[in-house]
Amino acid sequence: MKSTNTIKEMYLEERPYEKCEQFGAGNLTDVELLAVLLRTGTRGENSIQLAEKILHPVFAQDGILNIHQWSMEQLMRLKGIGKVKAIQILCLSELAKRLAKASAYTGLNFSTPASIAQYYMEDMRHLKQEIIKLLLLNTKTRLIGESNISKGTINASIVSPRELFVEALQKNAVSIILLHNHPSGDPTPSKEDILITRRVRDAGELIGIELLDHIVIGNNCFTSLREKGFI
């Protein structure tokens, strides 16, 4: 049975605020860090126990990555989580994604699949549906625009080459890159992924817009269809 001690009843070195002050934030566990941000718990359950429920729910095993999986409605169903705390947790999730993306930007190079995958990884690896993202590039292989062109089911996405190239022509793109995620976390290209890649490549050759790559995003991993020889 879990203890219901309040934060004040804990030994000084066990309190997350005091532990951070004495030993530094790097010495706090994931649960303790979240407890500091939650500040308070509820009757019969302190902030550490509340943080434990958020990071380690019975339906998932991803630990700290579960932060990205909660919706506002799901959070507010938890005892002790109201609208304010739910919004704080959602903002923490978004801030973590933006920090990761900002760090990746320093090494971003659109001629290197690994660089592109790292930059978009946090945006795409937590999505529960497949999203196909179109990147539009100029003559210097610099990004001039991006958009989501297809949102499919968990198993498949359908993209129209016509719709894709209309946007590319409107933005005067010289080349394009496709990215999409696999919610399963496995970036192995499906037969449909390969078919779409070849259809877009062939259409681009007819109108003079090159498909540079199609990158499949998994969970902290990726596959470049160009590197695999499909382009």
For 97, what's the count of Cα atoms within 13 Å in the CB-facing half-sphere?
19
Residue 148 has pLDDT above 50, yes or no: yes
Sign (positive or negative) of CA dihedral 9, 64, 91, 44: negative
Q: 164 is written with which tokens?
A: 């894709």
- pLDDT tens digit string along 59-105? 766 778 788 888 999 999 998 899 999 999 999 988 988 888 887 77
Nearest CA to 155 among 183, 122, 123?
183
Q: Which position has the token pair 């909660």?
A: 70
Residue pair 67/85 in contact by the 8 Å Cβ criterion? no
Q: How far is the first Cα of the chain from the last one, in angstroms, to the nearest whole number?
A: 58
pLDDT score, position 39: 84
Please report, for the chain, the start and end positions of each structural domain, with discontinuous segments joined by +: 7-101, 107-224
In CATH, the architecture of 107-224 is: 3-Layer(aba) Sandwich (3.40)
Task: Name the β-bridge partners of 138.
Answer: none
Distances (CA, A) of 212 to 38, 56, 168, 179, 201: 45, 41, 13, 11, 9
pLDDT score, position 208: 95
Q: Is pTM beyond 0.75 here?
A: no
* Exposure string over 185-213, b if 16+ CB within 10 A, otherwise e: eebebeeebeebbeebbebbeeeebebbb
Q: 34 is written with which tokens?
A: 């979240």
Mean pLDDT estimate for the chain? 86
Residue 13 has pLDDT above 50, yes or no: no
- pLDDT tens digit string along 160-203? 788 889 999 999 999 999 999 999 999 999 999 999 999 999 99
